[in-house]
Amino acid sequence: MSTQKVAFITGANRGIGFETAKKLGKLGIFPVIGARDEAKGKAAVEKLKAAGIEADSIKFDVENKADYSIAYDYFESKFGKLDILINNAGLSLEGDPMSSMATINPTSGISEEALRGTMEANFFGQVFSTQTLLPLLRKSEAGRIVNVSSTLGSLSYHADPASPIYAIQMFAYSTSKTALNSFTLHLAHELKDTAIKVNSIHPGWVHTELGGSAAPVTPEQGADSSVRLATIPADGPTGGYYYLEDIIPW
C-alpha cells in the first residue's frame, strides 16, 4: 500500500478541478484526474508534470456506471486505498447564472430532460460513484470526501429576499446541489465514528464555462475550499457546508 496520499478529483481536466489537482499536488499529494475525455485527461497530466507535479488520469464519466468499477480497480491495484475523493464533476443545462436572473428559466417551464439530466450528473452520479469507492476510503488513515456544491443549493438563501442568490433561479441546478448537500449530511452521519470526513463546499462564483463570463472568482481561487476540506486534520469538521472557512446555511 502506498504511503503517499492519493486524491481522485472528478471532472478535473480543466477549471476548478484542474486547479484543485494542481494545489493538492503542490502539497505532496498524488492527484488522479478523472475526465470524460481520456485525451483531455492525459493533456492535463502533462500540464501538471510540466509544473513539477507527478500525477495520473483515468477516463471517468460520472454518468457511466461502468467507469465506477474501473476506477475502483485502478486505485485498488495501484495504491491499495484512496485518501481523498473530490466530487467536482457537474453540469448546468439552464445557461449561466446571469441569464437565469432574467427569468428565462422559469421553474414551471423546466423540461424533463433538463431536470433529469442535471440530477443524474450532479446527484445520482455523485452518490453511486462514492458508494463504489467508499471501501477504498475506509482503507485510508484519514479519508476525506469533498462534495462540490454551490450556494445555490442553500434553501435558506433561496428563502431569504435579502440573500445574494435570491434572484438566481436555476431550479434543476439548485435542486441537484441541495440533494448533494443532503447526501453530505447523511453520509457524514453514517461515518461519524470513522476517520472519514464528509463535507460540502461552495467554490465561489467562478469564471468557468459553467459559471459564465461575469463571474469574479478565478478557477485557482475556486479550488481553495476543496483543498482546505480535503486536507483538514483529525479534529476538523464533518457534515458541514463551507465557503473557505465560512459556514453556509443549509
| In the predicted structure, residue 213 carries a pLDDT above the cut 60 | no
pLDDT tens, residue by residue, 168-188: 889 999 999 999 999 999 999
| Alpha carbon distance 218, 236 (integer Å) | 26
| In the predicted structure, residue 232 carries a pLDDT above the cut 90 | yes
Q: Which residues pair with 242 in a beta bridge?
A: 201, 247
The predicted model gives 197-226 an average pLDDT of 73
The domain made up of 6-247 has a fold known as: Rossmann fold (3.40.50)
pLDDT tens, residue by residue, 186-210: 999 999 999 999 999 998 765 444 4
The kind and range of the H/E element at 69 are helix 65-78
| Alpha carbon distance 214, 106 (integer Å) | 21
Domain coordinates of the chain in residue numbers? 6-247
Cα three-residue angle 128-208-245, rounded to 5 degrees: 70
pLDDT tens, residue by residue, 103-150: 456 899 899 999 999 999 999 999 999 999 999 999 999 999 999 999
- The reported pLDDT for the residue numbered 164 is 86
